Amino acid sequence: GENVEQHPSTLSVQEGDSAVIKCTYSDSASNYFPWYKQELGKRPQLIIDIRSNVGEKKDQRIAVTLNKTAKHFSLHITETQPEDSAVYFCAASRSGGSNYKLTFGKGTLLTVNP
């Protein structure tokens, strides 16, 4: 089955700096890569996703890049703000077969210091 590795497990940055979280996946057939944000005490929510036919996607201060050859994808947050502090999860899934499930990484606790 799919295995998703996420690094780092914790990340601390100063407000205004950039933050990068990296994930690798094992299944070369995976073609959908979402990122979820979980604020303290709240439910995970989708913040951005990318499909394998695209190398990069941006949404304001958030961007995701995908390298299919190397089987890794990354989340980039620019101009970080204290409200960006949360746990971020990457995930991967493939089409076909048991195509209803996402495999998540173990999460990255991002702390943005004011």
Q: Could you list the residues that contact other proteins (CB under 8 A)? A: 6, 9, 31-32, 34, 36, 42-46, 49, 51, 89, 91, 93-95, 98-107
CB of 99 to other proteins, least distance (A): 4
CB of 27 to other proteins, least distance (A): 11
What tokens were used for 96? 């076909």
CB of 80 to other proteins, least distance (A): 22
Q: Which is nearer to other proteins, 26 or 81 (CB)?
A: 26
How long, in residues, is the chain? 114
Which pairing describes strands 108-113 and 10-14: parallel, antiparallel, or unpaired?
A: parallel
Residues facing 44 on adjacent strands? none
Q: Which is nearer to other proteins, 77 or 91 (CB)?
A: 91
Cα(10)–Cα(18) distance, rounded to whole angstroms? 14
Handedness of CA 11, 13, 15, 16 (dihedral sign): negative
